[in-house]
Amino acid sequence: MVGTALLDELVDEFVIVGAGRDAVAPSVRSTNFSTDVSQMKDKGVDLVASCLDNNGTLTLATEMKKQGLDATQYLPNVYNHRFIKENARFFEGSYTATFFTPFEVKQKPKGLKDFQKWMKSGDFDENESSLAGWINADLFYQGLKAAAPKFTHQKVVDETNKITDYTAGGLLPGREQSEPMVLRGSSLDSSPRQRSASAGGP
């Protein structure tokens, strides 16, 4: 399970950012994190866990680099190869985790093969957002198929809700969490729990 075990490996002491009396909680709409980063630096923060889109994540990382905040980042929303490649200098040594089978695995399940085949044929980006759409469409299709031949809206909902072992052809691990992924420079490395030697560096 990604969580306290991983965090225990990353940091010796926690400074909770975004909760409690000493919180540093920037607005989700914030585009200027200079004050927040300054406060984090003053408090000795060594792990920053954000929940921002790619633009917000880059803005925060740029400000951290500008102010010299040498903290590991946990980035749950940046599984996007093009974005990481273009901005590698800001994310070296950062961590992310996926809720799905990483695209880099050598033994690809059928669901991943199908997804990559159709994304390639349509010249679409393979990223977390397109995969979420693919999984949602597939789950709808499975419910529709189970409700056929005479389906109604309610029957599709009911049949979909009966599905308890859905993995999207091996894309989803079921009830188990995936292992964390490590971002290394301009690539996403699928080796779980390995940390870059230059983590936190430029």
Q: Structural domain boundaries of the chain?
A: 4-99+177-189, 110-162
Q: Which amino acid is at 99?
A: F
Per-residue pLDDT reduced to its tens digit, 131-169: 999 999 999 999 999 999 998 999 999 999 999 889 999
Q: Which amino acid is at 65?
A: K
Which residues are CB-neighbours of 186 under 8 A, at least 6 positions away? Answer: 84, 85, 88
Chain centroid to CA 93: how far?
15
Please give the helix or strand (H or E) that residue 184 lies within, else none: strand 180-184
Residue 62 tokens read as 């740029």
Are 182 and 2 a contacting pair, CB within 8 Å? Answer: no
Q: Is the pLDDT of residue 59 over 80?
A: yes
Query: In Å, how far are 162, 166, 201 from 89, measured between CA atoms?
Result: 46, 38, 8
Q: Which range, 17-26, 41-50, 73-82, 176-185, has the best average confidence (pLDDT)?
A: 41-50
Q: What is the pLDDT of residue 78?
A: 82
What b/e readout covers 38-77, taking b as 16+ CB neighbours within 10 angstroms? Answer: ebbeeeebbbbbbebebebbbbbbebbeeeebebbbbbbe
At residue 16 the predicted structure's pLDDT band, cuts being 50, 70 and 90, is very low
Architecture of the domain delimited by 4-99+177-189: 3-Layer(aba) Sandwich (3.40)
Query: In Å, how far are 20, 22, 77 from 12, measured between CA atoms?
Result: 19, 19, 24
Average confidence (pLDDT) over 71-94: 87
Question: Whole-model pTM?
Answer: 0.63
Which residues are CB-neighbours of 68 under 8 A, at least 6 positions away? Answer: 41
